[in-house]
Protein backbone atom coordinates (compact mmCIF):
# COMPACT_ATOMS: atom_id res chain seq x y z
CA UNK A 1 0.00 0.00 0.00
CA UNK A 2 1.34 3.40 -0.99
CA UNK A 3 0.78 6.40 1.31
CA UNK A 4 1.58 10.02 0.59
CA UNK A 5 1.59 12.68 3.30
CA UNK A 6 1.50 16.44 2.75
CA UNK A 7 1.11 19.24 5.22
CA UNK A 8 -1.65 21.81 4.99
CA UNK A 9 -2.95 24.23 7.58
CA UNK A 10 -5.63 26.09 5.65
CA UNK A 11 -8.59 24.98 3.55
CA UNK A 12 -10.96 26.79 1.21
CA UNK A 13 -14.28 25.00 0.75
CA UNK A 14 -16.92 25.75 -1.86
CA UNK A 15 -20.25 24.06 -2.40
CA UNK A 16 -21.78 24.49 -5.84
CA UNK A 17 -25.02 22.57 -6.01
CA UNK A 18 -24.32 18.85 -5.96
CA UNK A 19 -20.53 19.25 -6.20
CA UNK A 20 -17.98 20.63 -3.75
CA UNK A 21 -14.28 21.39 -3.75
CA UNK A 22 -11.81 21.56 -0.91
CA UNK A 23 -8.56 23.35 -1.71
CA UNK A 24 -5.84 22.71 0.87
CA UNK A 25 -2.97 25.17 1.30
CA UNK A 26 0.07 25.51 3.50
CA UNK A 27 0.86 28.89 5.03
CA UNK A 28 4.15 29.19 6.87
CA UNK A 29 3.57 30.37 10.45
CA UNK A 30 6.39 32.88 9.98
CA UNK A 31 4.45 34.51 7.11
CA UNK A 32 1.46 35.05 9.38
CA UNK A 33 3.71 36.41 12.12
CA UNK A 34 5.44 38.92 9.82
CA UNK A 35 2.11 40.12 8.38
CA UNK A 36 0.81 40.71 11.92
CA UNK A 37 3.98 42.69 12.71
CA UNK A 38 3.55 44.74 9.53
CA UNK A 39 6.81 43.51 7.99
CA UNK A 40 4.94 41.91 5.07
CA UNK A 41 1.80 42.84 3.19
CA UNK A 42 0.64 39.30 2.38
CA UNK A 43 1.20 35.62 3.04
CA UNK A 44 2.37 33.02 0.56
CA UNK A 45 -0.21 30.31 -0.05
CA UNK A 46 1.38 27.05 -1.12
CA UNK A 47 -1.25 24.92 -2.91
CA UNK A 48 -1.19 21.34 -1.63
CA UNK A 49 -4.19 19.45 -3.04
CA UNK A 50 -7.68 19.95 -4.44
CA UNK A 51 -10.40 17.45 -3.58
CA UNK A 52 -13.67 17.29 -5.52
CA UNK A 53 -16.51 15.52 -3.77
CA UNK A 54 -20.30 15.32 -3.80
CA UNK A 55 -21.80 18.06 -1.61
CA UNK A 56 -23.83 15.63 0.57
CA UNK A 57 -20.59 13.83 1.47
CA UNK A 58 -18.84 17.09 2.41
CA UNK A 59 -21.81 18.22 4.51
CA UNK A 60 -21.90 14.87 6.31
CA UNK A 61 -18.15 15.18 6.97
CA UNK A 62 -18.63 18.68 8.43
CA UNK A 63 -21.48 17.46 10.63
CA UNK A 64 -19.23 14.67 11.97
CA UNK A 65 -16.47 17.21 12.63
CA UNK A 66 -18.91 19.30 14.63
CA UNK A 67 -19.77 16.30 16.79
CA UNK A 68 -16.08 15.69 17.51
CA UNK A 69 -15.38 19.36 18.28
CA UNK A 70 -18.32 19.52 20.69
CA UNK A 71 -16.75 16.71 22.73
CA UNK A 72 -13.38 18.46 23.09
CA UNK A 73 -12.53 19.97 26.48
CA UNK A 74 -13.33 23.70 26.58
CA UNK A 75 -14.86 23.56 23.08
CA UNK A 76 -17.98 25.42 24.20
CA UNK A 77 -15.91 28.30 25.62
CA UNK A 78 -13.79 28.53 22.46
CA UNK A 79 -16.84 28.53 20.17
CA UNK A 80 -18.55 31.19 22.31
CA UNK A 81 -15.43 33.37 22.23
CA UNK A 82 -15.21 33.06 18.43
CA UNK A 83 -18.87 34.03 18.04
CA UNK A 84 -18.35 37.12 20.20
CA UNK A 85 -15.60 38.34 17.85
CA UNK A 86 -17.83 38.16 14.74
Q: Along the 86 residues of the chain, how does pLDDT read in single tens digits? A: 888 888 999 999 999 999 999 999 999 999 989 999 999 898 899 999 999 999 999 999 999 998 888 888 777 777 777 788 76
Number of H helices, E strands in the chain: 3, 3
pTM of the predicted model as reported, rounded to 2 decimal places: 0.70
Task: Please report, for residues 9, 15, 41, 53, 73, the alpha-carbon distance to residue 70 in angstroms, rounded to integers and kept in the order given.
Answer: 21, 24, 35, 25, 8
Amino acid sequence: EMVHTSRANNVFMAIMGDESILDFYYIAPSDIHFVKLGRRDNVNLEPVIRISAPSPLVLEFLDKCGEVVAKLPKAEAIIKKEEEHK
